[in-house]
Each structure stands twice: as C-alpha cells, then as structure tokens.
C-alpha cells in the first residue's frame, strides 16, 4: 500500500481520512514518522501555510504529504481572523477567548457575513496540488450549541436549518463544511490515480 503522510496529529482528522482512503493508502500521522517538532506556519495565507507544512515533511522526512490549513474570514473585519484564526486572541490557541474577541469586534455591526475556508496542499514527488473548500455563513451575536470546536458555536451556515455548526451532528457538518468539501476533492483526486 502507498504510504502518505497527513501533516497532523489531530486524531479526529486522521480517522476521517483513514475511513475515506484507508483501503488504498497507509495514512501516517506526524507522530508515526517521528516528527514531534512544531512545523513552522508563518505564511500570510492559509494556502502558504498548507504548502509550507507539506514541503517541510518532504524535505525532512522524505514522504509524500498532504496538509490542511483553515481560516474564518469575516467580511466586516477585512477578512480577519483568517490565517490567524487559531491564535486570534493570543498564542494560547484559546477558542473561547478567540470567540470573545470576534464578538467584541462585531458588537453593533450589522454586516455579519463570513466564511470558513480550508486549503489542502498535496505534495507528490515535486508536484504540488491544491484543493479548496469553503462554506458561507453569518456570525451570530452569541454562542449556540456545544458540539464541534473552534468558532462553531457562533457560525451559522447559510445552507441548513438555522443551526450553528455546534448544533449539528458531525455528519451534517461534514457534508457542507469547508474541510469536508476540501477533503472530498482531495479524496477524489487520490482515488483517480492508478
Ligand atoms: P486548522 O488549520 O484546522 O488548525 O484551523 C485553524 C483554526 O481555525 C482552528 O484553531 C479553529 O479556531 C478554526 N477552525 C478550523 N476549522 C474549524 C471548524 O470546522 N469550526 C470552527 N472553527 C474552526
């Protein structure tokens, strides 16, 4: 079976990809290849960060690799937090603090439109392939729901019944989400290769 690295140690993301590609690819996590250091993610765009991580794995460990990076883009904030979504309120990667910061910045602002965007970079040999998924929605004025992670409790997708991502089942969220869409394109591409 072909080996490919997914540049993550997120168990949930790994399980998802293994379910979709497990019969054709042996999907290795960063820990599986002995990569325990923080891979630099210093790009100004999610696409750059995804590519950076994939190149790092290829250069240092020799494996073909894919990597994802996601950002929440809020129109009234000029696209913030964007590439800084994980650390919007500081280096602690604190989701609750990130949400508080967004709600404070949008206080009194009527335009609440936003989107999640995921970029996936796949490096095979020296060829880089990019896949993107996005989902449009609005930022609510307070949290709704307890599922999911990150900004899920304040993001209401346009498609759907008015629930936030945090009020949806993982299956329903995946079927319309930024990452679900980007992953579907990646899987289609990998499955089309002989
Ligand atoms: P990552 O690139 O998947 O690590 O995502 C970067 C940051 O974007 C995360 O730390 C979250 O704050 C946010 N994020 C990514 N995907 C989602 C999602 O599906 N729901 C809510 N927040 C997300």
Residue 85 alpha carbon to ligand 1 centre in Å: 7
137 lines ligand 1 (CB under 6 A): no
**Whole-number Cα distances in Å, 53 to 33, 35, 56, 63, 174:** 14, 12, 5, 12, 23
Residue-range domain boundaries for the chain: 2-192
165 lines ligand 1 (CB under 6 A): yes
The protein residue with its alpha carbon nearest to ligand 1, atom 16, reads 70
Ligand 1 atom with the smallest distance to the CA of 93 is 10
70 lines ligand 1 (CB under 6 A): yes
- The Cα 136–Cα 87 span in angstroms is 22
Instruction: Cite the active site residues.
Output: 69
- The Cα 7–Cα 27 span in angstroms is 10
* pLDDT reported for residue 194: 62
pTM of the model: 0.94
Return the structure tokens found at 89. Answer: 């309120």
* pLDDT reported for residue 22: 75
Q: What is the CATH class of 2-192?
A: alpha beta
- The Cα 96–Cα 108 span in angstroms is 20
Number of other residues whose CB lies within 10 A of the CB of residue 142: 8
The position carrying tokens 């499955």 is 191
Evaluated on CA atoms 124, 127, 128, 130, the torsion sign reads negative
Return the structure tokens found at 114. Answer: 């936003």
- The Cα 130–Cα 182 span in angstroms is 9
* pLDDT reported for residue 19: 85
Number of other residues whose CB lies within 10 A of the CB of residue 110: 6
* pLDDT reported for residue 129: 98
Digit-by-digit pLDDT tens for the chain (194 residues) are 889 999 998 998 898 888 888 788 999 999 999 999 999 999 999 999 999 999 999 999 999 999 999 999 999 999 999 999 999 999 988 999 999 999 999 999 999 999 999 999 999 999 999 999 999 999 999 999 999 899 999 999 999 899 999 999 988 998 999 999 999 999 999 989 86
The protein residue with its alpha carbon nearest to ligand 1, atom 15, reads 70
150 lines ligand 1 (CB under 6 A): yes
* pLDDT reported for residue 24: 86
- The Cα 55–Cα 126 span in angstroms is 9
């Amino acid at each position: 079976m072909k080996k490919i690295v997914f540049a993550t140690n997120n168990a949930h993301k790994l399980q998802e990809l293994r379910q979709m590609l497990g019969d054709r690819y042996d999907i290795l996590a960063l820990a599986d290849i002995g990569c325990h250091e923080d891979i630099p993610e210093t790009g100004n765009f999610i696409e750059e960060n995804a590519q950076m991580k994939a190149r790092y794995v290829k250069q240092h460990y020799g494996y073909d690799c894919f990597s994802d990076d996601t950002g929440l883009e809020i129109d009234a904030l000029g696209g913030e937090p964007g590439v800084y979504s994980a650390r919007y309120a500081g280096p602690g990667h604190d989701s609750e603090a990130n949400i508080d910061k967004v709600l404070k910045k949008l206080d009194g602002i009527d335009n609440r439109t936003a989107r999640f965007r995921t970029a996936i970079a796949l490096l095979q040999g020296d060829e880089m392939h990019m896949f993107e998924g996005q989902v449009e929605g609005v930022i609510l004025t307070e949290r709704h729901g307890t599922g999911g992670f990150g900004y899920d409790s304040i993001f209401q997708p346009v498609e759907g019944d008015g629930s936030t991502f945090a009020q949806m089942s993982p299956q329903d969220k995946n079927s319309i989400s930024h990452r679900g869409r980007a992953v579907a394109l990646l899987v289609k591409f990998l499955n089309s290769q002989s």
